[in-house]
């Protein structure tokens, strides 16, 4: 099946999710996400992880596989996304928290459109799941 994009991705893969639990720093562990799903959340984001550590450290990866990661290098982003794509519906790039600003990740990459474009294009080309 081809990778769905845009509205088709939202409608089919995410089943038109309207009740979304956004990622929360140090508060989006698996237990919280499972509880949120039982209470009606249709889509739950994970906490952010550092992509470089996720790629290089098997223990870190095993302990945190169900979490979101951060990266500001297209190759590292795609490496970690390839490791995680079989365990999620999509890979999300954005985080608007101050920790992302300090590390130059997530939503704060919008200040560098060329870098952001390289990350998204490479991820779109290499991944079997969409990038949001």
Instruction: Give the start-to-end residue ranges of the domains of the chain.
Output: 6-126
Q: Calculate the dihedral angle through the C-alpha atoms of 66, 67, 70, 73, rounding to the nearest 10 degrees.
A: 0
The helix/strand/coil state of 50 is: strand
Give me the mean pLDDT over the 103-129 stretch: 89
Determine the Cα–Cα distance for residues 105 and 20; give it in Å rounded to an integer: 22
> Mind listing the pLDDT tens digit for each residue in 29-72?
778 888 999 999 988 887 777 778 878 888 887 777 656 677 88
Residue reference for tokens 């990622």: 23
pLDDT of 10: 82
What is the model's pTM? 0.69
Residues annotated as catalytic are: 95
Most confident among 14-28, 39-53, 79-93, 108-122 (mean pLDDT): 108-122
Superfamily for domain range 6-126: Aldolase class I (3.20.20.70)
The helix/strand/coil state of 48 is: strand
Q: Which residues contact 29 (CB under 8 A, 6 or more apart)?
A: 47
pLDDT of 20: 86
Residue 122: phi, psi to the nearest 5?
-65, -45
pLDDT of 67: 61
């Amino acid at each position: 099946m081809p990778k769905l994009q845009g509205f088709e991705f939202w409608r089919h893969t995410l089943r038109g999710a309207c009740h979304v639990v956004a990622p929360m720093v140090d508060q989006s562990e698996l237990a919280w996400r499972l509880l949120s799903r039982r209470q009606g959340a249709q889509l739950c984001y994970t906490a952010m992880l550092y992509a470089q550590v996720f790629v290089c450290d098997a223990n870190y990866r095993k302990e945190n596989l169900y979490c979101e990661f951060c990266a500001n290098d297209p190759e590292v982003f795609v490496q970690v996304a390839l490791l995680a794509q079989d365990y999620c519906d999509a890979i999300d790039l954005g985080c608007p928290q101050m920790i992302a600003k300090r590390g130059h990740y997530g939503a704060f990459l919008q200040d560098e459109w060329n870098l952001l474009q390289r990350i998204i294009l490479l991820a779109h080309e290499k991944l079997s799941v969409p990038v949001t």
